[in-house]
């Protein structure tokens, strides 16, 4: 009887532990890099090209029609999700990156959000050249994607020939 009770309690404990999300690793993902940028032609194109090869997530800042700041989560696969700005720091913790890459200067990612990212205890690197070709080269080196600059230039050229070009603000 004592053996049967001990076996039952052991099995119950195993079921409880295996059912707990914290022990299964659910609820958090682990990314090597988190790309953070703004919703502008060059910055978004560069990050999405990098994401295609690296499968790393993107947090995208965008202005709505009224000029209010919005934040979107672009996973490597799946649906784009709007994230409340007050959940920005929690979203970074959820993604749990080894490194945060901020692509673009304060015109693309507001400085206060770069500062918040720095407080999250993950290394933060900023890719902020005024030349998007330089940014593509640097990002390619950081992500070990040697062809990123060439792919960025070729894609921009294809889009330009189709009538899509960066605005004066980008």
Question: pLDDT per position in the chain (170 positions), as tens?
Answer: 544 434 343 444 344 444 433 333 444 567 999 999 999 999 999 999 999 999 999 999 999 999 999 999 999 998 999 999 999 999 999 999 999 999 999 999 999 999 999 999 999 999 999 999 999 999 999 999 999 999 999 999 999 999 987 775 56
pLDDT value of residue 29: 62
Residues 33-161, CATH architecture = 3-Layer(aba) Sandwich (3.40)
62 CB contacts (<8 Å, ≥6 apart)?
Answer: 38, 39, 69, 70, 71, 72
Question: Cα(62)–Cα(1) distance, rounded to whole angstroms?
Answer: 65
Cα dihedral 30, 90, 123, 55 sign: positive
| 89-105 residue pLDDT tens | 999 999 999 999 999 99
pLDDT at position 36, please?
98
- As a whole number of angstroms, the distance between CA 103 and CA 46 comes to 9
Q: Are strands 99-103 and 124-127 parallel, antiparallel or unpaired?
A: parallel
pLDDT of amino acid 28: 54
Percent of the chain with pLDDT over 70: 81
pLDDT of residue 9: 39
pTM: 0.81
Query: What residues contact residue 101 under an 8 Å CB cut-off, 6+ apart?
Result: 33, 34, 35, 36, 124, 125, 126, 127, 139, 142, 143
pLDDT at residue 164, rounded to an integer:
86
Q: 21 in helix, strand or coil? A: helix
> CB neighbours (10 Å) of residue 135?
24
Where are the chain's structural domains? 1-28, 33-161
* SS3 call for 24: helix
């Amino acid at each position: 009887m004592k053996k049967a009770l001990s076996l039952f309690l052991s099995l119950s404990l195993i079921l409880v532990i295996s059912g707990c999300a914290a022990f299964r690793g659910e609820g958090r993902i682990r990314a090597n890099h988190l790309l953070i940028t703004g919703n502008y032609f060059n910055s978004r194109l560069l990050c999405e090209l990098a994401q295609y090869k690296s499968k790393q997530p993107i947090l995208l800042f965008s202005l709505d029609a009224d000029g209010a700041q919005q934040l979107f989560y672009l996973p490597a696969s799946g649906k784009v999700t709007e994230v409340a700005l007050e959940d920005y720091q929690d979203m970074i913790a959820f993604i749990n990156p080894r490194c945060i890459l901020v692509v673009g200067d304060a015109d693309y990612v507001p400085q206060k959000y770069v500062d918040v990212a720095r407080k999250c205890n993950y290394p933060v690197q900023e890719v902020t050249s005024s030349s998007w070709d330089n940014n593509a080269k640097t990002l390619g080196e950081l992500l070990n994607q040697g062809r990123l600059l060439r792919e960025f230039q070729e894609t921009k050229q294809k889009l330009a020939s189709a009538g899509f070009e960066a605005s004066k603000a980008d």
